Amino acid sequence: MKRWQFWLGLFISAVFLYFALKGLNFDDFLKSVKSANYWWIFPGIAVYFIGVWVRAWRWHYLLKPIKNIPTRVMFPITCIGYMGNNIYPARAGEVLRAIVLKRKENVPISASLATIIVERIFDGVVMLAFVFVNLPELANLASFDSGFIGNIQDLAIIGTGIFLGALVIFLLAAMFPIFTAKVSKWFINRLLPKRIREKTSSIALKFLDGLASLRSPVNVLMVFLTSVLIWLLETVKYWFVMHAFTFTVSFFALMLLNGIANLATTIPSAPGYIGTWEAVTKAVLVAYNVPGAEALGYAVVLHVALWLPITLLGAYFMTREGIKWNDTLRKETDQTQTQVQP
């Protein structure tokens, strides 16, 4: 609560909520939510959990060079991590699942964090691919009425440079581990105080171990294809939830929405991406001539359908494993976040 990142996130969420609610006809919003056919959400949730299982398999695949852990073991830990992202600030769930994996399977936190960062890079690349697949259609859309997104094509190009640049760096680090270790040691010895050099060097080496799966082109292709499948399954959920409402857009439009909305969740915000999700989802749908009240109704219902089931399941697994969000775990999470954040 005392971290400046937490309060910055709340402020950013408040700003995005303002844009989401700006000009809203509240009666029309309530009407769209009340008249929705919520039976469509259940097949969407089922498809989403298939995607979560694929995420767990992908993580198992990335960790294979370090330790071969069955997907059935990874699935509960994956759910715990996504629960953590939904209710704790600063995406603490990513660190939380690395800590849980350390406790259960004795995998070094630095190594598992490396695989988690690799996941996020591939996710970013795929989401941007979803945007670029729809660039011809996107070019025909007017600038979003919300007034804060600006030229999405320029943002997509900038984002592509960032994610592809990060991917290239990680691939090079994985392919040339000895050289990377020497370069890391050189910087550590010259930039850090002597008392923490040895510990930092050990963390860096374990982090490089976590990149081992990227040394094979086949593995890189497998992780990429798995990432595409994950986000296609999530788009199918968007499609099912859309049928609960009266509007219709193409599946490609939902792919575009998926890419833009999830990229927007990388913006610092309140836990659960409140505000950023609603504002961006509404803006994209309004650009497709969906009425603003119904667009926001869909955004809220979809957000709850994405947030609640995985959060409840993650909380169940956390309780089943006997893990408590106590001062010890909180301190360990905070310390790990401090080590990995700039």
188 belongs to a structural domain: yes
1 belongs to a structural domain: no
125 belongs to a structural domain: yes
Kindly tell me if the per-residue pLDDT of 293 is higher than 80.
yes
315 belongs to a structural domain: yes
3 belongs to a structural domain: no
pLDDT in tens, 69-125: 999 999 999 999 999 888 887 678 888 899 899 988 999 888 899 899 899 889 988
Tell me, letter by letter, the H, E, C secondary structure of the chain.
CCCHHHHHHHHHHHHHHHHHHCCCCHHHHHHHHHCCCHHHHHHHHHHHHHHHHHHHHHHHHHHCCCCCCCHHHHHHHHHHHHHHHHHCCCCHHHHHHHHHHHHHHCCCHHHHHHHHHHHHHHHHHHHHHHHHHCHHHHHCCCCCCCCCCCCHHHHHHHHHHHHHHHHHHHHHHHHCHHHHHHHHHHHHHHHCCHHHHHHHHHHHHHHHHCCHHHHCHHHHHHHHHHHHHHHHHHHHHHHHHHCCCCCCCCHHHHHHHHHHHHHHCCCCCCHHHCCHHHHHHHHHHHHCCCCHHHHHHHHHHHHHHHHHHHHHHHHHHHHHCCCCCCHHHHHHHHHHHHHHCC
User: How many distinct structural domains can be found in the chain?
Assistant: 1
4 belongs to a structural domain: no
325-337: average pLDDT: 57
Stronger pLDDT, 1 or 188, i.e. the higher one: 188
Percent of the chain clearing pLDDT 70 (strictly above): 86
Question: What is the pTM assigned to this prediction?
Answer: 0.85
2 belongs to a structural domain: no
pLDDT of residue 303: 95
79 belongs to a structural domain: yes
What range defines the domain where residue 197 resides? 11-340
pLDDT of residue 166: 81
